[in-house]
Structure 1
Amino acid sequence: MAEGQALLDMSINDFFLRCGLTPQDQLDCYTFIERLYPGISWVAASYQGYCSMTIFVGDHVVIQFRPDNYRLNLQIAEAAREVYGAFAPDTKHIATIPKSGLLVYSMNRINGAPFKHFRESCTSKANSTEYRARLCVDFATFLSKGWHHSYSERIPLGIVGCSIIPRLKSLSTDLPMRFQAKARLILRELQQIEALPWVLSHGDIAAGNIIVDPSSGRLRGLVDWAEAERLPFGTCLYGLEEILGHMTTDGFQYHPHVSHLRDIFWAELRKWIPELHQTSVMKAVKLARDLGVLLWHGIAFDDGVIDRVVQEGRDVDEIRRLDAFLDLEEQESVEGVSKI
């Protein structure tokens, strides 16, 4: 427990240092909360993001402090709530701390536990096939909401959506050699992907952002929509892999019944999206899935900047995810057919 608190304190302190702020600025944030919610207990969230400090106030309120360069797009936040309902938090900007300039946001708390933490603390339960299957079913339900909602069409393209082609070109030449053919394949087939519905896609489906009910494995929602944007349906399917496995010191390790769990996910997704029974649509969605893997794990995250292709030896975990998530044997087969 003491070690966990020390790591949490370090994470928060690092946030203020990165922002060029002082311990007094940190105290000002705490004072702000105490004045806004007198007599209500509060605690720092056990999982802190890179770009913000998050505080739980009572049982129902989340307060988040962000510097201006990591401000939330409230149009995106509103769209997430409109499209995904209770799976996304209701977000409002409520104040700006005068001295530090930190923006203060209020959100409703999605009750549950981050899947990452629950997986680490309740290993046997979280690893049960029944638990993972329930989460796969709910994740499919969550994704289907984007396909059926036209609200997303009103959202301007974001950083990734405006730069898919140049990013793929960089990936096809700068990734380690074994991944380049996959990037070239996606680039050639991009027209199929772009013909899919463009939906509001969560920008960081990591295990720490997936909130689950610890007792049942049901998906309660996703947090941290700061990097969400409109993209072809399927690009966020990289998030399914985080449900089906986890990173270890030896690489990404899948659940023993991963094939069964994957089948459950696709069966549920087809139930909600009958168009996926069409071979051409399913092919395009699976290409979009690989596009998402390349964009989220083939491009490095450097202090909020996403414009560098990952490198062997420097971005070890991302390379390991690419190795695990991309079916290289299938890629070679498709490449061979395309050259005939």
Structure 2
Amino acid sequence: MNKLPGVNYLYMAESLPSDENTMMNFVDSLASFFAQSWTRGRPDNMTSQEHGDLAATCRARLDSLSKSLPGHLIPVVAQVRENMDGLFSGSYPIVLTHGDLSEMNMLVDPDSGALTGVVDWAEASLLPFGFSLYALDSVLGDMYLTGWTCHENADQARRRFWDTFCSIAQPSHAERQQMEVARLVGILFRYGTPVSSGFPGMLGIRGEDDGSLAFLEAFI
């Protein structure tokens, strides 16, 4: 971390969201980070067989979730599974995806709030774009004993993120719909899968007490 500028986001987690300018600077730079991934993604980097294998791995992970998540979440898994084929069509970008894009692995400028670096790529893998968009959701509020509470400027920050992202990446309407499917898949994998599940790529965090299910329900 000392080879990159900035401080860990966790040190700014309390002060950054309360300052509108620094929060908007952060989401602008986070949007730019994702837009760079989108514009540099190349669907033709993978063969049709590799696309098929990746799709099968993701379906297997969703099938596993269907057997382990609380019943009221199963319809979400089924809906995502039904709509995810477009992510492996060969035209949707497959990109280098951070396996643990949490606040702990994002560095920010303490003065401006802008994202300055992303560290800990040990679990990175090639996945359809958007599987790590949970990073945006995770900074738009806080989890308390009473549940998830959004920051006052959460809606504004989300709109700002997508306005900035779309101005750079210029996705079509159909691609934006696919991104939302990918975002939901990523949230399910991240917060619904135990870290020891054995699936490659993006880490899960669900523990024995299933505390992360509160994040899963809040984000979907």
Matches of 1:117 and 1:249, distance apart in 2: 21
Aligned residue type for 2:210: D
Q: Give secondary structure in 1 for the equivalent of 2:101.
A: coil
> Please, which of 168, 181, 200 is the counterpart of residue 62 of structure 2?
168
Matches of 1:324 and 1:221, distance apart in 2: 27
Q: 1:200 to 1:309 in 2, by over 3 A?
A: closer
Matches of 1:205 and 1:167, distance apart in 2: 19
Q: Which residue pairs with 1:337 in the alignment?
A: none
Alignment of 1:45-56 (within 5 A): none
Q: Which residue pairs with 2:176 in the alignment?
A: 282
Q: Which residue pairs with 1:130 in the alignment?
A: 21
Q: Which residue pairs with 2:73 in the alignment?
A: 179
Aligned-residue offset at 1:292: 0.4
Q: Which residue pairs with 2:99 in the alignment?
A: 203
Matched, 1:314 2:205: no
Aligned residue type for 1:113: V
Matched, 1:140 2:35: no
Measured on the aligned residues, the alpha-carbon RMSD in Å equals: 2.7
Matches of 2:120 and 2:101, distance apart in 1: 9
Contact 1:200–1:229, Cα closer than 8 Å, also in 2: yes
Larger radius of gyration: 1
Aligned-residue offset at 1:132: 1.4
Contact 1:132–1:244, Cα closer than 8 Å, also in 2: no
Matches of 2:109 and 2:4, distance apart in 1: 10
* TM-score under structure 1 length normalisation: 0.57
Count matched residues. Answer: 211
Q: Percent identity?
A: 27
**Cα deviations across residues 140-196 of structure 1 (Å, max 9, x unaligned)?**
100111112257837x88x98762011111222321112111110111111122232
Matches of 1:270 and 1:150, distance apart in 2: 15
Contact 1:161–1:229, Cα closer than 8 Å, also in 2: no
> Please, which of 23, 32, 40 is the counterpart of residue 149 of structure 1?
40
Q: Give secondary structure in 1 for the equivalent of 2:152.
A: coil
Matches of 1:220 and 1:269, distance apart in 2: 17
Aligned residue type for 2:133: L
Considering fraction of residues, name the structure with more strand: 1
Matches of 1:235 and 1:300, distance apart in 2: 16
Q: Give secondary structure in 2 for the equivalent of 1:205.
A: coil
Q: Give secondary structure in 2 for the equivalent of 1:200.
A: strand
Aligned-residue offset at 1:324: 0.6
Q: Give secondary structure in 1 for the equivalent of 2:81.
A: helix
Contact 1:300–1:306, Cα closer than 8 Å, also in 2: no
Q: Which runs of 5+ in 1 are unaligned?
A: 1-55, 61-108, 327-340
